Structure 1
């Protein structure tokens, strides 16, 4: 079975739009163009990788990796392959069919509609309740879904420093860290989000000490754990960079503060196996945080986000196992481009050309 990987980072934006006529904004198209080679670091041996142009194709093939690059117009030569985009949505299905893929080899529209509903942030509430019931343990405060501005304002007044999130968004987008609930900008943001997506998720602000994720791979209801991701985020919970390490070392790091992580991991395998659509083939990431409670004890929020797609954590985890040494994974942006030169202890994961505005790299020997 031939596998073909694609990088479509506008996946979350397409889910938020909801239909199959979405057009990505310029920055998302640039990101997709520049980081198209990223899947080569986690793709299975013998797979194909779709890249936008001949330059990128030559770069991938010159890497002498286990993956060979093809151009979008070559997809028609592999019409019955199994496709692995960064994330599945109606827009990506339509695009692949337009490029020559056989509809029968792609997930059906009903499957994609179900996956979109599962990608709604209310699924984190379900996972919270399932974990507490199965493990007979209380975790962090559970998010609350609301559908009016007044309900948001009431929550924010009771929980200073809370987070308000849109149902569909990714990588920290669509997240508002509330500092002043009376700010007109915040109210306008909420009204716009409610009009577009119908509801908002409100979460209590916690004294966070660490961000990490458990990465899984789903083949329908068969779910396998594939690695850990330890990363940092900014004030608005947007991804900054990730720690590159072996799975064994990341496990030790997490278990120091969360000894029960293996029980939680096993429980998540069971939960995901019951809720993921049988037609789904791809990654699922469960973002978690460690935080201090009022007594100063370290506690766990076991499901801050569920990403029903590939994540940057999958990339950093795969590279950590491949390289076997510690580093820091980053995505950089420059409106003026990058110098294509060597940087000490740096590995570029994507090519740099004259028109490149985004690049992915790892700095090794990072403490």
Structure 2
């Protein structure tokens, strides 16, 4: 049996890199509220989803119009029978926490594995991969890894080739979604940002400097690495981010319709070309060091000179399970082929706000299910209780009509 658990603080834990890292309250709350999310994307057979508690889950599961057929329970109910543990991502803090809960060492990765995984998950690998991909017709992308304030200031000068704007984006090598980023509109390193850079340089050894492109669309290509040197393409993810760059929602569409939407700006042949290159280059980068899903975030960017739209082929590499892969699985497994949809993760200020919205969505968009798949309507993918503030949900929309 394979045991699955959701630890959304993974990227922050990689940045801290301590076995004793304590996630912020918001990340712990998100993990506690969205614990059921992996159930929708794992295989029905031979899967166990670990929950923080089982108090409200059984009653909620019985109300679902469609439901995964997986085993579930507290971690202690499952780890003694499992062959492998599959978290959102492995890090030192998670291994330490699992050991404290009695998980056997044989089920946990060692220090060498964890250090190599952290190395591969750094944004510095995205810098390296972008340098191999960007210099081709129809593409864009400049990214520099700086290891001192002097190097950062040099990169802020609007002089290097391929920079379409004086605005810059600074990134920490490891951070959570939408975190560890600083936007500079002036091109000058003012004191608060300089202090932030010094902290990142001291803790993580580098700061990544990039142009702040005029983005037209966010999307990703999803892959699977088999640990034997092969990386295979799994599908596309079309998504939105908020003003801070944090993940907001995915559009649940077929790969063909995502490509059709993107090809209004960049040629479909270019997407296929980049996809094939990535399978080769990711395989060379990962070798036998990684088994699992990963996503490469991309952008379509606008320019004042021809070509007016260009493909940024590597904004981020998410070396873990990710929301894009969740969305792709939700579409292929739970939506009717006659429908599209939206997958969204929301955070409400209070539990009562979430409960009110949940009731409103259920009333306005009752689920319609045919052959075990959503044709239309709203479905909360995670239970909503008295203390819940986070929700993962989907809205199915018929291709021939409206929600």
Instruction: Please say whether Structure 1 and Structure 2 have the same fold, judged by a TM-score greater than 0.5.
Output: yes
Unaligned stretches of 5+ in structure 2?
Answer: 159-164, 366-376
Asked if 1 retains the 8 angstrom alpha-carbon contact of 2:134 and 2:141, the reply is: no
**Deviation by residue 1:198-238 (Cα, 9 ceiling, x = unmatched):** 21000012121111001112221232222211111233322
1:81 to 1:95, Cα distance in 2 relative to 1, 3 A: farther
**Deviation by residue 1:1-40 (Cα, 9 ceiling, x = unmatched):** x111110000001100112121111111101000111111
What secondary structure, in the 3-state scheme, does the structure 1 residue paired with 2:277 have?
helix
Q: Which residue of 2 aligns with 1:161?
A: 167
Q: Which residue of 1 aligns with 2:332?
A: 321
What's the CA shift for 1:182?
4.9
Structural RMSD (CA): 2.2
Measured in 2, the distance between the counterparts of 1:66 and 1:217 equals: 24
What secondary structure, in the 3-state scheme, does the structure 1 residue paired with 2:78 have?
helix
What secondary structure, in the 3-state scheme, does the structure 2 residue paired with 1:212 have?
strand
Q: Which residue of 2 aligns with 1:173?
A: 179
Unaligned stretches of 5+ in structure 1?
Answer: none
1:72 to 1:119, Cα distance in 2 relative to 1, 3 A: same
Measured in 2, the distance between the counterparts of 1:160 and 1:59 equals: 55
1:71 pairs with 2:74 = yes
1:75 to 1:279, Cα distance in 2 relative to 1, 3 A: farther
Asked if 1 retains the 8 angstrom alpha-carbon contact of 2:250 and 2:344, the reply is: yes
What's the CA shift for 1:60?
7.0
What's the CA shift for 1:137?
5.2
Q: 2:224 aligns with which of 214, 217, 220?
A: 217
1:16 pairs with 2:23 = no
Counterparts of residues 3-152 of structure 1 (less than 5 Å): 3-46=2-45, 47-58=47-58, 61-62=61-62, 63=64, 64-78=67-81, 80-131=82-133, 139-152=139-152
Q: 1:331 aligns with which of 335, 339, 345?
A: 345
Name which one, 1 or 2, has greater alpha-carbon Rg. 2
What is the TM-score when the length of structure 1 is the normalising length?
A: 0.91
Asked if 2 retains the 8 angstrom alpha-carbon contact of 1:75 and 1:99, the reply is: no
Measured in 2, the distance between the counterparts of 1:42 and 1:59 equals: 21
What is the TM-score when the length of structure 2 is the normalising length?
A: 0.84
Q: Which residue of 2 aligns with 1:304?
A: 315
Q: Which residue of 1 aligns with 2:286?
A: 276
Of the structure 1 ranges 163-172 and 226-235, higher mean CA displacement relative to structure 2 is found in 226-235
What's the CA shift for 1:84?
1.2
1:251 pairs with 2:256 = no
Asked if 2 retains the 8 angstrom alpha-carbon contact of 1:132 and 1:139, the reply is: yes
1:295 pairs with 2:321 = no
Q: Which residue of 1 aligns with 2:247?
A: 239
Of the structure 1 ranges 22-31 and 260-269, higher mean CA displacement relative to structure 2 is found in 260-269
Measured in 2, the distance between the counterparts of 1:202 and 1:175 equals: 10
What secondary structure, in the 3-state scheme, does the structure 2 residue paired with 1:326 have?
strand
